[in-house]
Structure 1
Amino acid sequence: MGARALPAIIRPYRPDDEADVLAVWNAGLVADPINAATWRAKVLLDPNFLPEGCLVAEVAGAARGFLLSITRQVPFYGDGLQPEQAWITAFGVHPDWQGRGLGSALLDAALERLRGLGYKVVTISP
């Protein structure tokens, strides 16, 4: 029997989540570490970034997991906006919190949001 699920709040990213999200990323995605400067440059300053597309699983006042989904806000070369396509570009749960349903809750919330916006294809992108 797995660890008991704790009540989690799934909500959009806020600027004060940065340290927690980076801690989750670096603990869970050890082959692809990230620092604050890279997070800001490649994620927060990406013209396709929307805070509501970056979901956070908050437990006991801290982010224990996150999921970053991207939808085109600006055309990409010859592909345009791809209005039916979305991408999950990063997804992680801190190892200490895995097996408690946080990842499933994040994925369910992201897919529900994207479906509600009319996206028909969601690709998990490396």
Structure 2
Amino acid sequence: MTGPDEAGWNIRLARPDDAPAMPAIERAAGAMFDRIEGLAGIAGQQTVPVDRLRRYIARGHCLVATSGETLVGFLVTQPFGRELHVYEFSVHPDWQGQGIGTALIRACLIDARNCGFIAVTLTTFDQVPWNAPFYRRMGFRDVDPTEHKRLALELENEHANGFPADSRVAMASNIS
């Protein structure tokens, strides 16, 4: 899976040796939330630990965007039954606006479909332009957490970890 060669980036499956570079990208992307009222200091402050990233990568569905040998974005997932859940999705701010995020999501949906998953799920900020509105444009729909126990638990955990409860939404893209 690759992005346009002329764009200077490619998409591929993540490898365990990619994990150490991911927290810096997550932190840089998270800093963009500092300009959103009520979200400053929330996103990107506690990055996904490298050992946990390696466990996700070992499951075979995580993707990275690279420019040469440099990681510029990534999408980390975990299977749950017949659903593939996106746990972290970050593109370094210096590389945003080039279609990398769209390519990562599309590649994730293709991988999920090819592997027999029926949906890709995630939780995200509802009103942040590069979060829920982006996913809605990509075909994701809002999910009522009272109808999806695992996503309800994800939202509860996020709230317990400092995310404002009314700012988050659960989403899914049915791919079957």
TM-score by length of 2: 0.54
Q: Identify the structure with the greater helix proportion.
A: 2
Distance 1:34 1:49 in 2: 19
Question: Does structure 2 conserve the Cα–Cα contact (< 8 Å) formed by 1:70 and 1:88?
Answer: yes
Structure 1 counterpart of 2:84, which letter? A
Cα deviation, residue 51, structure 1: 5.2
Cα deviation, residue 6, structure 1: 1.3
1:8-37, Cα deviation, whole Å (9 max, x unpaired): 22111123323322221110124233468x
State how 1:4-43 maps to structure 2 within 5 Å: 6-30=7-31, 31-34=43-46, 38-40=49-51, 42-43=52-53
1:61-112, Cα deviation, whole Å (9 max, x unpaired): 211000011113xxxxxxxxx2x21111100100000000110111111110
State how 1:1-126 maps to structure 2 within 5 Å: 6-30=7-31, 31-34=43-46, 38-40=49-51, 42-45=52-55, 49-50=57-58, 52-72=60-80, 82=81, 84-125=82-123
Between Structure 1 and Structure 2, how many residues are aligned? 108
| Unmatched tracts of structure 1, length 5 or more | 73-81
Structure 2 counterpart of 1:43, which letter? L
Question: Does structure 2 conserve the Cα–Cα contact (< 8 Å) formed by 1:65 and 1:102?
Answer: yes
Structure 1 counterpart of 2:50, which letter? W
Q: Secondary structure at the match of 2:60?
A: helix
Provide runs of 4+ in structure 1 moved above 6 Å.
none
Which is higher, the Rg of structure 1 or of structure 2? 2
The CA RMSD over aligned residues, in Å, is 2.2
| Unmatched tracts of structure 2, length 5 or more | 1-5, 32-42, 125-176
